[in-house]
Every structure is written in structure tokens, then in C-alpha cells.
Structure 1
Amino acid sequence: MKNVFVFVFLFSLLIPMGGSGQQANVPITNRKTTDTYNALQNQLEIAKKNPENLAKIAQAYLQLGEYYHTLGLYTEAIAQYNSALEQLGSNLEDSLYITLNNNIGKVYLSLNNFELAEKYFEETKQASEQLKDDKGLAVSLGLLGASHEKQSEYDEALQDQTQSLELFQKLDDYNGVAITNENMGSIYEDLGQFDRAYQFFNKAYRYFEGKNTTEEINVLNNLGDSFRKRGDYQIGLAYTTMALDLAKGLNDLHELESAHKDLSKNYALMGNFEKAHEHLLLAEEYNSEMLRSQNYDQLNVLQTIYETNKKEAEIQLLKEQNKVSVANQNLLWVALFAIAVIFIILFYYMGRKRKATLKIQEYKHRMLKAELDKKAIEEQNLQREVQLKAASLSRYSLHLSQKNKILLDMSNTLRNMVSRKHMNTSDKIKELVNEIDFNLKQEQEWDEFMTFFKEIHPEFIKKLSMLSEDSLSPAELRLGMLLRLNLSSKEIASILRVTPDSVRVARYRLRKKLPIDQKEELVNFMIEL
């Protein structure tokens, strides 16, 4: 801890070295942050004055640890939580133990140390079950679900969150119900089940709506994500814009960054790359501002800790000045060396983090480009299909024209026969019958039909044949193709030159050869192939 104090001291010395740059103009102290820390520290000191009230001391350590956690000072947070657990001793049946254990797990979850996080959550879960503490059990299950989700273990995550949701509903804890619904929506969003995700996000939003909280902003962003990912860009844009407006009102830098990032994705998918780039730059600015703010808050607290301990050290120094003078000199050199090492490590870490962020952005840009290329290919395929259908329609029209010509010729022949009273009609009628039979026997039209059908539905005949338990006859294949075109029995009977009753019998026989549910329509089955 002393190394941290000296680090703050050295950092405060380095600030003026920026000359006229921005860093020199940024205040190193934040009154609100300092006041909060001082209040919590005073609360702890007051609690320590009554050493018999261990629960109150543990509670003070707990609150101080939670404050460190919000600032991202994870090591200090763990230290405070462990100090609280030491106050409880062997009294692990206290509900405070459940809260502390969950909080320690949260810190490890923030550090992506899933193994340690789940160890604490499981211990808390068992303790909650023994104490019959449904609230603690619900929280532990929710945190376990969050850990599984981060590791893409979605089945376990859904199981934990479902149990957590049932407990919160039993307790009438609407805030817990809303948060758990949002967590489940996030899981279904990761699974690509955007309709289910929307249902859970919407349930959460009904609770948070109008409360102007960070939770409401987060749910709105999630709703926008779910619509954007399923292609409803305008609706997604509306939700994300609402989230942005609320974030501006609360001046929440994290949510402002998230909203601008989501808007950038949305505009990119809509093809408005200028807007997408504009929001991406704003997201970067808020991210940088958020990091600066977090760093300043951390430094403020560390500096306050340093100053507090410095005063205590000065008092001790006055009491034992002769004994500690040499030790202080040695400590100063060690501390300066440690500060230099920490500063170098911090600088290296921030550089790597920025490079990683740039790589992620580059990857996302590539993904967006690939998606646009895919859309272009799909559009080309649709245009090709339209051209094939147009060609088929033209040829079919020609076929009808030929048929009509034949019928017209036969009609003229019959008129001539009627007008000639002494003409031997028997031979002429036989000639017409032979001509009609000849045309009916022509298979060229079916060959052309098969060619057109295979161009438009190349895999249909193969799929239909593979699904049939018995081999299908050419007539049954023809019937299947005509059903695929969504023709009625009457239309099929006209084309096949049979009666509608014969078509119904043929449909029944074909249905028996296919693995089709009794309630499903044969036409729908063919269309879905």
C-alpha cells in the first residue's frame, strides 16, 4: 500500500512537467471523490472504536470495498472484503458473509478470472441454501449465469438465470426480476435468437421505463441491438437514440460510448457510412474521456489515502524520529524505484490496450464489408432468378401460342366441314382425331418444362427423390413439380390431361410415399423443399 502512496506522490510531481500542455491544466483532485472516501473511512474508524460490534466493522469494510470496486481498484477492494471476512471469523451463517463472498466473486469476474469467481459464487450458493436465504441464492445464481455467459456456456447460463428469475419472482423483487430478464435477453442475443432476446429485454424495460437510470439506458441499448441484429435498422436506431438522449441527461460516459458505438454499427448496416464514422469517432472520444475520468478518480483516492497515511506517518515520525530516519531514506529510494517500474508498466499496458482496441475496430470494419459483399451477391442471385423466370414465361407463352394456332386450324377445318353438305366427314374427322392424338403424344413441351424447372429449382427433384421411401414414377415427379408451382388440382388436371379426381388420387398416393406430417399440407411441404 505504501508503494501506491509514493506512486501518487511521484505522479503529482510529474504533472507540472507537461509545461503548457493539457495535462498541466487538469486538476489532480476531485472534491466529490475525496469526500466520499473520507466519509467511508471515517465510518470505518468510528466502527473500530467499538471493537465488540464486529458486524458493524465488517459492514464498514464492505462499503469501502464496494467503493474501491466501482473505481476499478480491485486489489484494494479484495483487501477490504477480506478484512470484513476476518471480522466475521467463524460466524459464516451471517447474511453479510453471503454478500461479501458474492462481492469477491464479482471482482474476479471483472478480472475474467472465471475459475475463482465461480468458486466464490458456488460457496455463496451453498451457504444461501443452508440459511434458506432466497435473495442471496438468487443473486449467486445470477452471477453464476453471468460467468457462464462470458465463457459462452449458454445452456448453463440459461439454467442459472432461470432459477434466479423464479426466486426473484417468488420474493416480489421487481428490480431483481428486471435485471435477470435483461441477463437472459443478453444470452439469447448471443445465441442469435433475437425474438426471444427482445421478449426478455422488453420485460426488463417495462420495469425501468421512465426512471432515468443507467439500467434503463442499458436496456434501451440492448433493445436497439436486438432489432439491429435481426435487420430492423430503423426500430433499432430509434431505441439506441433514446438511450443516447438519456445518457446525455445523466452524463454517463460509459453509456454514451456504448450508444454511439451502436449507432455507428446501425448506420453502417444502413449504408450511411458517413454517419457511422461520425458516431464511431464520438464513441472513441467518450471512451478516452471515461478512461481519463476513471484514472483521475483512482488517483484522487490513492492520493487521499497517501495523504492520510502520510499524516499518520508524521505523527509516528515525531515519536520515534531517531529510529526511523535511516529506514525512511531507504524506503524513499525503494519507493521511487517501484514508482518508476509501475509507471513504465502502466504506460506499456495502456499502449497495448489501445492497439488491441484498434485491432478490434479493424476486424469489425472487415466484418461490415464482408456483410455488404454478401448482400451484393444475394442481389445478383435474385436478379439471375428473375431473368430465368422471365425466359421461362416467354417460352411458355410461345407454347400457348402454338397450341392456340393448332386449335384455330382445327376450328377452321370443322367450319369447312359444316359448310360442305355432301362432303364425306368421316374421313376428315378421323384425320382431325389423328392430328389431335399426335399433338397430345408430344413430349417436347414436358422436356422444355423440365429444363425450365431445373433452372429455377435445381435441387428439388433430387431432394424429393431422396425423401421418398419408395422410388417415385415420372408421373409422380411431374405431380410434385406442379405442386411446387402452387397449382390447384383443377389446373394440374388440365395440364396432365386427366380428371380432377385422378389428380386427388395421385396426390394421396404421393403423400403416402413421403415423410410428411398428417396436419401439414402437401403443397406447403413441396414449397419448403
Structure 2
Amino acid sequence: MKKFFGFGYVMALALVLIHSVGFAQQTNHTVSNIRRPDSTFYALQKRLEESKEQPRFPIKIAEAHLQLGEYYHSFGLYTEAMAEYNKALEELGTGFSDELFIVLNNNIGKVYLSLNNFELAEQHFEETRKSSIQLKNDKGLAISLGLLGASHEKQGEYEEALKDQEESLSLFEKLGNEHGVAITNENIGSIYEDLEKFDLAHKFFMRAYEYLKGSGKAEEINVLNNLGDAFRKTGDYPSALEKTSMALEAAKQLNDLHQLESAHKDLSKTYALMGDYEKAHAHLLQAEEFNSAMLRSQNTDQLNVLQTIYETNKKEVEIQLLKEQNKVSVANQNLLWVALFAIVAILTIGYNYLGRKRKATLKIQEYKQRMLKAELEKKAIEEKNLQDEIQLKTASLSRYSLHLSQKNKILLDLANTLRNIAARKNMDASRKIKELVKEIDFNLQQEQEWDEFMVFFKEIHPEFIKKLSSLSENSLSPAELRLGMLLRLNLSSKEIASILRVTPDSVRVARHRLRKKLPIDQKEELVNFMIDL
């Protein structure tokens, strides 16, 4: 649970915003953990092709699709990951494997959980839970319960989340699975932290840390950060600094950008609460740098993977075309021999037979040519669809560019105003800061950002606003249209509230009013209705 940290922390944050534009141009920290996907992708692709050469072993093919899906999932390419998981399930239809089915079903649920589609995610986790009970697979049952608990926690259903996680913990302890015990203890601690029961949260985080201590993995770093949060929120700042600093050093060893950002951000909060705003400011600067580096890394990785997929598919199409052309060449050679034989036969049989044979030969050639032309057109369409898919993925990145553009404009105005305040020694700083806050609020309420957002939204979903407006008997207000567009992007109520600068309760009321104006079935989700438009 995030909280407000007072005037000192706000001042530190303001200093970060002043320097963030220039700081992004510095190169004090070299980002070296950007993954190169080519070799891994080609290895997985080769394994899939080799497994397909042995159709008698469908489970091997399913495992190859599963690994390729997990590879896509690690880069946030959920559409591609889902396609590979479904292909794996199709292969399991001819060679069933209980354990592999449980893993696949959980992975599909994880994709939906990443997309905040909790209903579909829980359907898959629940199906896996029931299957694990029937198959007496305690490990599969423990994992499914943990995932169900994670889904409930994300939705704020803490009582159900605790119940699922405690059952999962009991099973992992029974199995002697130390990694599962550690992760589940951390999950329970996170729930108690959300409930602001920090003593219980600290208890479970320490249990998790006892298992993960010295592992040098990201899980250990995450637990140390959680321990630091628990100490900070109970006012034990020295202990908070100790645990978070340990997390920072471990993150440096792994060069984990996410954990580095998290550790610097937590250190900034702790120093701000201790009144050391200079150190708070310095750590916030570094957190901002690692966050930007992480976003750049993620975007670069996704584009590299998509480009690799496109180039691989393009090569496969070219190879297939060459094969088809070779087949046509062989067919033409065969036809030539047949024609020569036919000529000899025609000379002996007579003129009439020669005429009929020529007609038959021409019909065969025309049929082959039509088949070849249809196949070439099909391959060309597939290549175009692949290019369109890459363009769509690239267009989705434009939303980040829009956000960055808006932020930089506000930061520039803020920097100029603060420079003026700093230059005038006898000025009433308190009054000027209040005026600056009003100016920031005013800038955040401007419609220009929404105009730019509308341009990008209409490029990706050109017919959405028109369709939405036509479905309502009463005209929809601009605010309702904005809510509809944000729901179409599958954002949660909390995220929408942050964007519109209102409370989550106001968002829920607005959603209810919008739903009443639209022809939606009572059982249908408003988000699913918007996505289907």
C-alpha cells in the first residue's frame, strides 16, 4: 500500500522532476542486461522443428510449443505466447500428459492475470485446481492455489487470498518444496502489508528470507525490499535502510533493472522520512534513471523479438516458395517427357489422337498454373498480415511517447519557475510554491493532452468512438467517452482514477452510469463489451 510521505518527500520528488530531463542524457550507468533474443529464439525454433519430425511423440512437440510460449511471455508478447500455449494443448489431445496440461493451463491463466482479466485467469486456475485434486497432484494444486490467491489479492479480496495462500503453503510444506514455501510466505506477507498488519507481514517476510538468504536470485532481493518496506512503515528506519541497502547490493550483482529501481525508490522514501532530503533526492534520481532504462530495454527487446519472428517467417515463406517453384520445374520436365512420348505415339496412332492429347496436356498445365498462382497469392497475404501485425505492435508504443512528451513539457515549465524562485533571495518562497502547485494543477487539467491522446487512439481504434456513440440512446458526454476509451485499453479502475485524477469510487460510479446508457446484458462485463466494439 502506497502512502503520502509529507512535505520533505514532495520536495525531493520536485528536485527529481527538475533534473530528470537532463539526467536521461547522462551515461553514468551502463545498461548491459538487454537480452539478445536471436540465439534463444532460433534454438527454441530448431527444437520445435526437430520435434515435428517425430510426429509419433506429440508430447515432445507440446513441450517445444510450451517453451516457445514461455519465451514470448517473458518479453510481454502475450498474443504470441497464447498462440503457442494453445498449439501445445492441441498436441496434448493426441498424447495426453497430466503434468504438462497443468503447467499449460496455469501459464494461460498467468497471461490473463498479466492482462488484468481476472475472470478468465481464475477460470483456468480453478480448472487446474480441480484437475490436480482428481489426479492427486499436490504440487500442481499448491501452485494453482497460489495463483488464485495472487488474483484475489490484485482485486483487493484479501480474505479469499489469505485462504488460498495458506492452503498452498501447507501443501508446499508437506512436499518439502523450500522454494514454494519461501514464495508463498512472501505472498502472505504482502497481503498482510496491504492490510497494514505490518507485524504479521514482517513475520512472513522473515520466514521467506530464511529460505532465500544467500541464493543471489531476484526472489531474495524482492524479499529484502519487502522487509525494508515493513520496517519503514513501522518507523524502524535504521532496519529499513539496512534491508533495502542489502537489496540494492544484490540487485547490482544481478544487474536487475527492476530491482535496482525498486531499491533506490525505497531508500529515497526512507531518507525523506528521516529528513535527509539530499540523499532522498539522489536515490530518486537513480530510480528514475533505472526506470527509464528498464522501459527502453523492454521496448527494444519486444521489437527485436518481433523482428526476429518476422524475418524467420519470411525466410520460411521464401523457402516454401522455392520448393513450390522446384516442384513446378520438375512437373514441367515430366510434362516435356510426356509430350515427347505423346508425339511418338501420335505419329503412329494418328492425327486425331494427337489433338486430344495436346488438349489434355494444356488442361493439366493450366490447372497446375492456377494452383501455383493461388498458393503464391496465399503466401503474399500471409506476409502482409505479418507486416501489419508488427506495425500494430509498434503503434502501441506511441502511447509511451505521448506520455513522455507531456511529462517533459510540465517539467520544463516547473524547472523555469523554480529557477526564478532560486534567483530571487528576498522572495516569499512559501507563497510562490503554492502558486506553483496551482499552476501544476492547472496544467494537469488542460485538454491538450487529451487531444493528442484522441489522435493516437483513433489511429489504432478508428471506429470505436463512432460505434460507442451510436449504441447509446442518450448522447454520451466527453467524460463518458474518455472513460469508454480507457476501458477499451483494459485499464483497471485504480489506473483510470490515476489518469483522470479522481477517486476509484468516482470511477465506479461513472462506470455504472455509462453502463445504464448502453445495451449491455447484466451478466456481461463492461470491459469485455468495450473490447468487443
- TMscore range, shorter length: 0.5 to 0.7
How many positions carry a matched residue from both structures?
335
Once the two structures are superposed, residues 158-189 of structure 1 have per-residue CA deviations (whole angstroms, 9 ceiling, x without a partner) of 00000000000000001100000000000001
What is the rounded CA distance, in whole Å, between the counterparts of 1:30 and 1:88 in structure 2? 34
**CA shift at 1:33, angstroms?**
2.0
Contact 2:314 2:383 (C-alpha < 8 Å) held by counterparts: no
Tell me the residue number matched to 1:226.
230
Please tell me whether residue 177 in structure 1 is matched to residue 181 in structure 2: yes
- Shift in Å at residue 353 of structure 1? 8.1
Gap change, CA 1:331 and 1:121, over 3 Å in 2? closer
- By how many angstroms is 1:357 displaced? 12
Q: Please give the secondary structure, in 1, of the residue aligned with 2:116.
A: coil
2:399 matched residue in structure 1: 348
Write the mapping of 1:108-147 to structure 2, written as runs, cut at 5 A. 108-147=112-151
Q: What is the CA distance between 1:317 and its match in structure 2? A: 2.8
Letter in 1 for 2:397: L
Q: Aligned in 2, Cα 1:333/1:150: closer, same or farther, shift over 3 Å?
A: closer
| Partner Cα separation in structure 2 for residue 132 and residue 209 of structure 1 | 32
State the alpha-carbon separation in 1 of the partners of residues 258 and 233 from structure 2. 21
Equivalent position of 1:291 in the other structure: 295
Does residue 255 of structure 1 match 2:259?
yes
Counterpart pick for 1:63 among 64, 67, 80: 67
In the TM superposition, residue 49 of structure 1 has moved relative to its aligned partner by 0.8
Offset of 1:120 from its aligned partner? Answer: 0.4
Whole-angstrom CA distance in 1 between matches of 2:100 and 2:77: 22
The amino acid across from 2:207 in the alignment is K
Distance 1:295 1:344, change over 3 A: closer
Provide the secondary structure at the position in 2 that maps to 1:231.
coil
Seen in structure 2, the aligned counterparts of structure 1 residues 283 and 53 have a Cα distance that, compared at 3 Å, is: same
Q: Matches of 2:231 and 2:41 in 1, distance apart?
A: 42
Q: 2:275 aligns with which of 254, 258, 271?
A: 271
Contact 1:93 / 1:131 at 8 angstroms: preserved in 2?
no
Aligned runs of 1:263-412 on 2, under 5 Å? 263-320=267-324, 323=373, 342-352=393-403
Aligned CA distance change for structure 1 residues 254 and 354 (closer, same or farther; 3 Å):
farther
Q: Quote how far apart the aligned CAs of 1:64 are.
A: 1.0
Pick aligned residue for 1:157 from 161, 185, 202: 161
CA distance in 2, matches of 1:230, 1:354: 38
SS in 2 for 1:278: helix
TM-score normalised by L of structure 2: 0.58
TM-score (norm 1): 0.59
Residue type matched to 2:311 in 1? E
Which of these residues, 37, 42, 49, is aligned with residue 38 of structure 1?
Answer: 42
The runs of 5 or more residues in structure 2 that have no matched partner are 1-24, 326-371, 411-533
1:183 and 1:307 map into 2 onto residues whose CA distance is 41
Deviation at residue 295 of structure 1 after TM alignment: 1.9
Partner of 2:207: 203
Indicate the percent of aligned positions where both proteins have the same amino acid.
63
**2:54 is aligned with what amino acid?**
N
In the alignment, which residue of structure 2 is the partner of 1:75?
A: 79
Q: Give the deviation of 1:316 after TM superposition.
A: 2.5
1:338 Cα deviation (Å)? 6.3
Amino acid of the structure 2 residue aligned with 1:278 = A
Q: What residue identity is the alignment partner of 1:70?
A: S
* Distance change >3 Å, CA 279–CA 95, structure 1 → 2: same
Matched, 1:238 2:238: no
Distance 1:159 1:292 in 2: 39
Alignment of 1:495-510 (within 5 A): none
- Does structure 2 conserve the Cα–Cα contact (< 8 Å) formed by 1:93 and 1:127? no
Q: Is the 8 A contact 1:201 1:222 kept in 2?
A: yes
**TM-superposition CA deviations, 1:56-101 (whole Å, max 9, x none):** 1111111111111111111111111111101111766611101100
- Over aligned residues, Cα RMSD in angstroms? 3.0
Q: For residues 413-492 of structure 1, what are the structure 2 equivalents within 5 Å?
A: none
Equivalent-residue separation in structure 2 for 1:150 and 1:241 (angstroms): 28
User: Unpaired runs of 5+ in structure 1?
Assistant: 1-20, 360-529
Question: Contact 1:30–1:300 (CA<8 Å) still a contact in 2?
Answer: no
1:215 aligns with 2:219: yes
Q: Which amino acid aligns with 1:273?
A: Y
SS, match of residue 192 in structure 1 = coil
Q: Distance in 2 between matches of 1:183 and 1:305?
A: 36
Q: Taking structure 1 as reference, are residues 202 and 336 closer, same or farther at Cα in structure 2, changes over 3 Å only? A: closer
Partners of 1:100 and 1:229 in 2: CA distance: 39
Task: Give the SS at the match of 1:112.
Answer: coil
Q: CA separation in 1, counterparts of 2:131 and 2:116? A: 24
State the Cα distance separating 1:345 from its structure 2 match: 3.7
Q: In structure 2, what is the equivalent of residue 53 of structure 1? A: 57
Distance 1:285 1:271 in 2: 23
Equivalent residues of 2:57, 2:95 under 8 A apart: no
Amino acid at match of 1:165: L
Deviation sequence 1:466-522 (CA, Å, 0-9, x none): xxxxxxxxxxxxxxxxxxxxxxxxxxxxxxxxxxxxxxxxxxxxxxxxxxxxxxxxx
Q: Note closer, same or farther for the CA distance 1:121–1:297 as it changes in structure 2 (3 Å cut).
A: same
Q: CA deviation at 1:331?
A: 7.2
Tell me the distance in 2 between the aligned counterparts of 1:343 and 1:283: 26
For 2:320, the aligned partner's letter is: Q
Q: For 2:240 and 2:408, how far apart are their aligned partners in 1?
A: 25
Pair 202,351 (structure 1): closer, same or farther in 2 beyond 3 Å: same
